[in-house]
A and B are shown apart, each in its own frame.
Chain A
Amino acid sequence: MNSLLVFLLLALLPQGRAFSQSNVRLAWQQKPQLALAIDVANLLTPQQKKLLYSGLSALSHFEIQSRDRDGSTALLFVSECTLKYNLWEERFELQQLTQGSMALQAFDDFAHLCLMAQLSSPSSFQRITESGSHIEILIDVAQVSPAFAADVRRWLIEQQSGVMRGLFSHMLGELQLSESIKLSVVAPPLSAGDKR
């Protein structure tokens, strides 16, 4: 068997937005080289999908980290895409940092390019192949960039002086500028069946 599909019930961390139940698809692939494929397209919440179809530019950020037993983390994979849905042509325009601009006919094309990771570097998954590992997955979809968020925050901080001095910001919560999911899953070790 070239690949083994593992469906895991995910543990929802407090930072994540509410959703009932989701799946992440992990698969060991042998060809062209040994790689751990992680597909998170099914994890998107309805609100995240709504942002992607908003007709305005949306930024997706997909990140994978491994977590050791001592709690230390290591970044394994990052993908960032800027996507815009053309309302009249009913297709996506993708601006990816590595591959430039392109037109996509379907949502699945976006998911394939921006919501799928292939960990093929031995250093990335050596520990996983031997004994499995905890993997943390973050998916952010936003209409604004982190720089925009920082600008707004700075503006609000500057507003504390003057008339509202001292009583402005205790009424100020955290800005929620992206729809975010953060999950922790257990990636199983490479079994003999996967190696065949």
Chain B
Amino acid sequence: MAGHASWVEYPKLTTVFKTLMHMPPFRNKSWWLRIVGLAGSLTALACSLQTAAAQTPSSRPVFLLEAVDVKGSERLPEGFLADELGLSPGQRINEEDLDIARTRLLGSGLFQSAQFFLSKGQAQDRVRLVIELEDDSGVLGPWAWGSSIAVLQEQNTDTSLRNPNQIDPYGIKAQIVSRNLLRHLHRAAVQIDMDGKGILRGAQFAYGFPRFSAEDAQFDASMEGTDGVWRYFEVLGFGTKGHLTWTLDRLTAGSFEYGVALFSNQEKHMRLPGFPDAIVGPRVGLRKETRLLSFRTSSGYSYTMAALLTTEGLRHMAFELGGAYSTEPWSQASLTLQSENLSVGGLSLSSRHSLRLEQALPVWHMASDPLLYLQGLWGHDTYREVNYAGTEWKVGLRFHSAGFIADLGLTYSLIPHLLKEMRNGEVQP
């Protein structure tokens, strides 16, 4: 359709760079001269493009907004919408502005549809705008709540060795999330993991600033701590991790992340043996996700790569590399292979791999969409001459209703011998 807004598809940076390097101004020059020349050229190009954009009037008709009326939803206050969308009475707009506003509304993930209607104002070229929104029924409440609770019974070699008849009571992992906190698009999530004895084994808090769509950088902050001795398969290298991350989504290769990260093993329980006490520094990374991580995972892939940079050299930098691939092996089933790796310099490596099969059950489809899952996890850690590894099998039933997911599962773990000794107090972390 004529005039719809879309995100710009950028060419690959490497291709552009190589092409530029072979152009006459840069050819046969030393690398530093080439880079300085290229930076200068790009700056001049950006300035000229910006100037040209500012000077070129839009070919589309411009209207003066006389009134704006938003109907159909209470999820975002009218004043907030007017500010964020730039649609206030008295402003001059064209159809392109409305396309951008529509992109922002639909990109919030709160609405199923957003339709715009103009009507004649009191004078020529004055218009009244009506925005009709339809709430997404899959989103719970005006604050877009979601939650999950997992009830897991764990059996592992540690307890079974002491008493073959002993089975730990159920542990609980609960998460609650809001994507429209205070009805201003603030995002937040809290998660706790409590074992059957009522001891907290993990917690996470995350917050994201409001953001409408792809043109802005997204800011997220998160802090998480996990007991590496009791939750070995959920810890990658460090028991405590904090992130302050900005994300740019305008690259074709994926999303570019930059910010600050803290990886720590200081706390007695929130640590994994053999890894450094703490690493703090700027973190840069690239990630891409093509799967719809709905209640049932759609086919596709994801990857992530990141580096936590320090001034103490390569041996103290942390590198992360991960990927996942999901496919539908047969009807109503999903098979996901996932791998996550974290290394600190060349000294240590923490790896977690998993294979998960989900099969939807053809009963109560409309009621709760239940599915059975079977998951195998493998973990391996190495630090200098120390190596330890473990395996875990998990089987369970998941179902959901509106914004709530329930998970009933049974896990059987073969944890590393070192961690068994630490659980029994025979070895200090």
Contacts and interface: CB of A to CB of B under 8 A. Distances in A.
- A and B: real partners? yes
A135 interface: no
B202 to A, nearest CB: 14
Contacts of B7: 151, 155
Contacts of B4: 57, 144-145, 147-148
B106 A175 contact: yes
A160 B288 CA distance: 10
A164 B208 contact: yes
Nearest to B102: A144
Contacts of A157: 289-292
Interface in B102-131: 102-103, 106-107, 109, 112-113, 115-120, 124-125, 127
Contact of A57 (B3, B138, B144, B255): B3
B409 to A, nearest CB: 15
A159 B213 CA distance: 10
Given A88-B120, A147-B4, A163-B220, A171 B144 contact: yes
Nearest 6 CB-CB pairings of A with B: A55-B118, A173-B138, A145-B1, A163-B206, A163-B208, A176-B113
Contact of B109 (A50, A82, A159): A159
A158 B115 CA distance: 24
A57 B118 contact: no
Given A54-B118, A55-B118, A164-B187, A169 B292 contact: yes
Interface string B351-388: 00000000000000000000000000000000000000
Given A151-B6, A161-B287, A162-B218, A170 B403 contact: yes
B198 to A, nearest CB: 24
Given A56-B95, A155-B249, A161-B287, A168 B5 contact: no
B117 A55 contact: yes
Interface string B138-181: 11100011111000000000000000000000000001010100
B222 interface: yes
A51 interface: yes
Given A144-B102, A148-B1, A168-B179, 14 more contacts: A55-B119, A145-B1, A148-B4, A151-B7, A156-B107, A156-B109, A157-B289, A157-B291, A163-B206, A163-B220, A170-B400, A171-B403, A173-B138, A175-B106
B102 A167 contact: no
B293 interface: yes
Interface residues of B, number: 70
Nearest to B291: A157
Contacts of A54: 115-118
B350 interface: no
A172 B214 CA distance: 18
A160 B289 contact: yes
A159 B137 CA distance: 19
B194 to A, nearest CB: 18
B64 interface: no
Contacts of A167: 146-148, 175, 177, 189, 405
Interface string B197-238: 000000000111000011000101110000000000000000
A57 B2 CA distance: 7
A70 interface: no
25 contacts: A57-B2, A57-B3, A88-B124, A142-B1, A144-B1, A145-B4, A147-B4, A148-B99, A151-B6, A151-B103, A152-B106, A155-B107, A156-B109, A158-B255, A160-B293, A162-B247, A163-B208, A163-B220, A163-B221, A163-B222, A167-B147, A171-B109, A171-B140, A174-B112, A176-B113
Contacts of A144: 1, 4, 99, 102
B14 to A, nearest CB: 21
B405 to A, nearest CB: 6
A78 to B, nearest CB: 15
Given A144-B102, A170-B405, A163 B187 contact: yes
A143 interface: yes
A177 interface: yes
Contacts of A160: 289, 292-293
Given A55-B127, A82-B2, A147-B4, A170 B187 contact: no
A59 interface: yes
B295 A170 contact: yes
Contacts of A170: 138, 146, 294-295, 400, 403, 405
Nearest to B120: A87
